Structure 1
Amino acid sequence: MSIEKRILIVDDDEDILVAGELLLKRHFREVVTCNRPELIPGVMAEQTFDAVLLDMNFSPGERSGQQGFAWLKQILTIDPDAVVVMITAHGGIDTAVEAMKFGATDFICKPWQNEKVIATLSAAVQLHQSRVEANRLKHSNQLLMETSAANHQNLLGNSAAMKAVHSMIRRTAPTDANVLIIGENGTGKELVARELHQQSHRTGSIFMSVDLGAVSETLFESELFGHKKGAFTGATKDRIGRLVAANGGTLFLDEISNIPLHLQARLLTVLEQRKVVPIGSNQAVEIDVRVIAATNISREALNDEKKFRQDLLFRLNTVEINVPPLRQRAQDIGEIAIHYAQMYARKYRKEEKSFTHEALLAIQAYHWPGNVRALRHAVERAVILSEGKEYLAKDFQLENVLLNHQKVPHEDYLERMTRLPSVDSNALQTMQSSSNDESLEKAHSDFETSAGALETSTDLNLVSMEKRLIKAALTKHRYNISKAANELGLTRATLYRRIEKYGF
């Protein structure tokens, strides 16, 4: 059966060319012959060859092989990925071996054995195919990295809290120090990790992100370390682990606190030795990665030895960066909202609109328990549904939820408003005069009774019940997505989709 590949034979002996063509045509799609080496550049310019069979000598009595070396060099100059097999006479093996040092792949002796020629050229064709595929993947990866860098989203905000984060990034990024990022869900921990990567010397290499909250315990080692075919049931082929795939670049381990204690020890060993042993293999693979980890639990919780190994914590937090929640940098909310409004207006081909003063007051005063992620979803919804010439406060549907999803004293609300640069004295005076706002108190009361209402409700509509259950779980766990998803029996990704669906 012929292989869909193209072979070039270059030899000044017509008998060799005829014999080679007759033999190889039965095994390869096309065989091109050339009896004058000076025609090689023109022939190679017209088409690409998967293997070249090149004679060592082209002049009567010539045995040095220098002519073959010269044409080998020119072929590799024309196509650096070319696979060249040299043809040599008896006694010229040493010369052929020398040619391999100059870039030849293999050699065949005259008179040749047909089986040897076919086997050698088949291997040469496979080598060329591997080189082409490797180059294609290299260029694809480079394009993906360039595209990722072009679409890189900067950390928004100029508050004092964010300036401190930027300062930490600027000082830490040029090093290879491991970094631990601590912050609530939705604060932008992955953006901090990507910014560290972009400002490091690894910026031209891969940024690999792994959400450990979405990786089951049984697949943890296979996902991070890889496995060999047959290592366990279902391992039908070799799989490269994320640590090896990120070699030379940055590995971002999100929700690091979700790793069970016994697997934390395994990760610690890998980070200390800088070697990975795939499941089912006895051979260690050296790795060169920078590890950035993130968690949404507090520093105090991380210090609990029953939840997190302290030796692993010391390994991960050479530098620690705390990302502030949105409620602690309220002056950034307007800038972030305007940025996303413009972005979604372009995405959905909507007219770009400004925010009314009341709309800015509303979104800046809101506590945003889901942080930037929740603000982003609210802005996206407003861009889609808003019908006026400007964005109004009602477009963000904040009246349907409470500040921080818990009872917040009215005085705290007013104190936060005094820190907002966009609030004028008249607006503040109006709010102070309504310190006993019945609607706010009613909202507080409604929220406190929501869990009880879930149990006593006679509404058995499945969609309504699901919505109430999800809201109750989020409230119970203060919008800790991992804990809420675990209690509901959902994955984090599924819970995020439900949150977006119901507009929480």
Structure 2
Amino acid sequence: MKQAGSILIVDDNPDILIAARLLLKQHYQSVKTTDNPFDIEGLINEHKTSDQPIDVILLDMNFSQDAISGQEGFYWLKKIIAQDPSIVVLLMTAYSDIQLAVDAIKAGASDFIAKPWQNDQLLAAVAAAFSHAKDKQQVGQLTRQTQGLSQALNQSVGSQQFSFLGQSAAMKEVFQTIEKAAQTDANILITGESGTGKELTAHAIHQASQRRDKTFISLDMGAVAHSLFESELFGHKKGAFTDAKTDRMGKFELAQNGSLFLDELGNLPLEQQAKLLAALQNRQVTPVGGSKAINVDIRLICATNDNLQQAVSEGRFRQDLLYRINTVEIRLPPLRERSEDIPLLAEYYLTHFAQKYKRSLSINPNDMHALCAYSWPGNVRELAHAIERAVILTEGELLDIRTVVGSQIPLAAAETPSTLEPLSYDTFDLEVLEQRAVRAALKHYQGNVSHAAKALGLTRGALYRRLEKYGL
């Protein structure tokens, strides 16, 4: 049975090309030949995008008439190594000596073969070269995986600093669903407004699953340019597009045997939704610029604050993809629907930020009542930012709730009932509340969108959409 692998033989002597090809094609799946070393670069690129990229090159050292120095071979050897370091090169020459062989190895060749060769000797050298090529490819793959994992972990480190808390009936139901669903490999869709804790929920699912000892990889789809979705998800090959200077693993490969969390899935363009669906159905991905499919085994967790059913009816989201990703759906309630959790969360964040900024603070019961009375359109994320800001700005030992009320809460939740304006339907209209919160944040931060978005618990893109929606 022939061994998998691809060999390129480069020699200006047609008899050498024929002899080497006849011998090696009996043992290896793909054997290509050329008598022109200027073809090497094109052949490497051509085969890199096929199912059989070149693993080993047998390279003659002399191409000019009467040349015996071997300098041409060294020149092309350096070109090959610069183009693709994973390829293993065997140098061949009829004018051999010990010093030339030593220089060839120093220059990066795997071995040095004198012509004419003994067939057994050539087969042994090629077999060793394939073993070396496999080792180099594995090292390269591990390096890319390590780099990708490092980048992914650096991007998600901030999202793992808080605990997933709640004691309300609504949150107890969420915890029960997580406990049941986590034990399976079912795809899970987490829905809820911005700031309700969708990424913390995804981490909780992963930690409760049988994949807890494997990697957890996340990707915020709202932060990815439309042209880069496919590369981020499936990876790319060197040269696949202008900035693709090296091979890169996609999030599917990085999450192999672990969990992949796709946040803000509603931002995925329709043309990319079909590719995601195919990857989930076939359990395979193909990097951009590549043709070889890679098997993947991941647990998919998705999240969105969009109404995907409505998106389906509007033609913005594929119905078949929605069926695929929401085997189990977990809805996270907004903070206004579980106000009984606010004291627990407020005390938790107060303790966390007091330790972070080396403060000793507590909350007045009346101020806690004010926090519970506010609707928190930015949900738990907004509460966390508000408490952090209050910890920083408070001068005494009691948390100064005015630092929260004055800059973060457009409705004066800290006032007593006798001072509140008469209630109207607008008071409870979520869009009105959201618009007021956006206006207040922009005013407080003097139009700085980045700071306002952070205070509201939104991404910059999400805030820009609201600015457009409300004509601000």
Which residue in 1 is equivalent to 2:313? Answer: 304
In the alignment, the residues of structure 2 paired with residue 229 and residue 274 of structure 1 have an alpha-carbon distance, to the nearest angstrom, of 23
Q: Is the 8 A contact 1:207 1:250 kept in 2?
A: yes
1:264 aligns with 273
2:247 equivalent to 1:220: no
Count of residue pairs the alignment pairs up? 359
- Which AA in structure 2 matches 1:337? A
Whether 2:417 is the aligned partner of 1:381: answer: no
Q: Distance in 2 between matches of 1:449 and 1:207?
A: 36
The answer to whether the Cα contact below 8 Å between 2:308 and 2:317 also exists between their aligned partners in 1 is no
Contact map agreement 1:330 1:364 (CA 8 A) in 2: yes
Aligned mates of 1:269, 1:448 — CA distance in 2: 41
- Quote the residue 1:323 is aligned against: 332
Distance 1:150 1:262 in 2: 29
**Alpha carbons of structure 1 residues 471 and 450: separation in structure 2 relative to 1, 3 Å:** farther
**5+ residue gaps, structure 2:** 1-73, 75-97, 107-117
C-alpha distance in 1, partners of 2:361/2:162? 22
For 2:178, the equivalent position in structure 1 comes to: 169
2-side partners of 1:390 and 1:313: how far apart? 48
CA distance in 2, matches of 1:257, 1:186: 16
Do structure 1's residue 370 and structure 2's residue 365 form an aligned pair?
no
Give the structure 1 partner of residue 40 of structure 2. Answer: none
Q: Does 1:314 align with 2:314?
A: no
Shift, 1:190, TM fit: 0.5
Q: 1:352 to 1:317 in 2, by over 3 A?
A: same
Deviation at 1:274, TM superposition (A): 0.8
| Contact 1:358–1:393 under 8 Å retained in 2 | no
Alignment match, 1:291: 300
C-alpha displacement of 1:166: 0.3
1:332 aligns with 2:341: yes
Other-structure match for 2:363? 355
Distance 1:300 1:481 in 2: 25
Unaligned runs of 5+ in 1: 2-19, 29-90, 98-104, 108-119, 406-412, 418-429, 456-460, 490-504
Counterpart of 2:269 in structure 1: which amino acid?
P
Q: CA RMSD in A?
A: 5.1
Inter-partner Cα distance in structure 2 for 1:289 and 1:213: 21
Greater gyration radius: 1
What does the per-residue CA deviation read over 1:378-403, in whole Å, with 9 as the maximum and x for residues that have no partner? 01101111111111322323576334
Q: Secondary structure at the match of 1:315?
A: helix
Quick one: structure 1 residues 300 and 228, their matched pair in 2 at CA, closer, same or farther if it must change by over 3 Å? closer
Contact 2:308–2:322, Cα closer than 8 Å, also in 1: no
| Distance (whole Å) between structure 2 residues aligned to residue 216 and residue 187 of structure 1 | 25
Partner of residue 437, structure 1: 420
Q: 1:178 to 1:342 in 2, by over 3 A?
A: same
**Secondary structure class of the residue paired with 2:227:** helix
Question: How do 1:136-285 and structure 2 match up within 5 A?
Answer: 153-285=162-294
Report SS of the residue matched to 1:205: coil
Alpha-carbon separation, structure 2, partners of 1:343 and 1:319: 33
* Shift of residue 306, structure 1, vs aligned partner: 1.2
Residues 189-245 of structure 1, C-alpha deviation per residue, up to 9 Å, x if partnerless? 001101111111111111111111111111111111112222223322222211112
Q: Tell me how far apart the structure 1 counterparts of residues 239 and 144 of structure 2 sit (CA, whole Å).
A: 26
Partner residue, 2:464: 485
Which amino acid letter does the alignment assign opposite residue 437 of structure 1? L
1:354-503 matched pairs, under 5 angstroms: 354-398=362-406, 401-403=409-411, 434=418, 437-438=420-421, 464=446, 466=447, 482-486=461-465
Taking structure 1 as reference, are residues 191 and 242 closer, same or farther at Cα in structure 2, changes over 3 Å only?
same
For the residue of structure 2 that corresponds to 1:208, the secondary structure is strand
Q: Identity of paired residues, percent?
A: 39
Deviation at 1:131, TM superposition (A): 7.4
CA contact (8 A) 1:341 1:352 kept: no
Q: 1:484 to 1:394 in 2, by over 3 A?
A: closer
**How far is 1:360 from its partner?**
0.7
TM-score (norm 2): 0.61
Contact 1:355 1:390 in 2 (8 A): yes
Distance 2:279 2:433 in 1: 49
